[in-house]
Amino acid sequence: MKMIKIHKLNDEGLKAFKSFIEKTRSHEKSDSGKLGFPPIAFEPDNIEVISHDKIDADEVFNNRYEMAGYIIEKWPSMSDEYFKNVGVWAWFAAIYFNQLRGKSTQRSEHFIPDEYSPATASQRLGYRHSVREPVFLRKKYDDNWCKLMLTGRKVNKMGQFLESCMSSQKITSSVAVRGVIVDLYQDKITKTIKPGATNKASTTNKKSTSGKGALRRLINTHIPRLKKSFDVEVMDSSDIISSSAPEISSSKWAK
């Protein structure tokens, strides 16, 4: 156990972290393997204390739902203002980097909030951050939604379902649409994603059932159609599903 106060990476720390990610990704692309991660998050010149609340730097997590719950519990003085602080979330990612790092090191926005990088910030990739987004979800969204987004995968995996959902304002801004997604695509026992929920529908094979009634079709086709005739935001999830085309209402997802 290694209990430490909560810090943020300062400018030097952020530069060092970003430089390391770029270097190791380049190294990996040349088939030279991963570079070992230096103790950036512990070096006094790179960090500043922001809270006397403490976390265990050696804590191990099964998934991001568990990780976010741990951080919220151990950081009771956290306020919404901290979600704008690039340095603190980069520090958390650096503390738990060896857990969060995939088989190949992910792009920098998974470790340093995307607004730190003007070249990609316009793409609004903040939802990809491996620590801030899970904590934000657990602070702001209902528990079933959080379990759908954050469980069923190892802590080093974001997953296509979260990518598809949290990158879409149609979904993030709509309680009704999120409710439909939970009712259709969440396994009622495990609370994880049903297999095939992110499959694409075939545009060449009309007999293929893969992707039929799945998330992409729901969001891009069926919900827009419904909105032409109904105020979806005032409807119950069951009514939205039953009012949808048979591809949704009579699909395996609705059973």
What is the model's pTM?
0.93
C-alpha span between 69 and 172 (Å, rounded): 21
- Whether residue 249 lies inside any domain: the answer is yes
In degrees and rounded to multiples of 5, residue 196 shows phi and psi of 90, 0
| One domain, residues 120 and 181 | no
The average confidence (pLDDT) of the chain is 94
- Whether residue 228 lies inside any domain: the answer is yes
- Name the pLDDT band for 6 (thresholds 50, 70, 90): very high
Mean pLDDT value of segment 16-39: 95
- Of 157, 186, 220, which closes a domain? 157
Mean pLDDT value of segment 185-193: 96
Mean pLDDT value of segment 135-164: 97
Count of the separate structural domains present in the chain: 2
- Whether residue 162 lies inside any domain: the answer is no
| One domain, residues 200 and 235 | yes
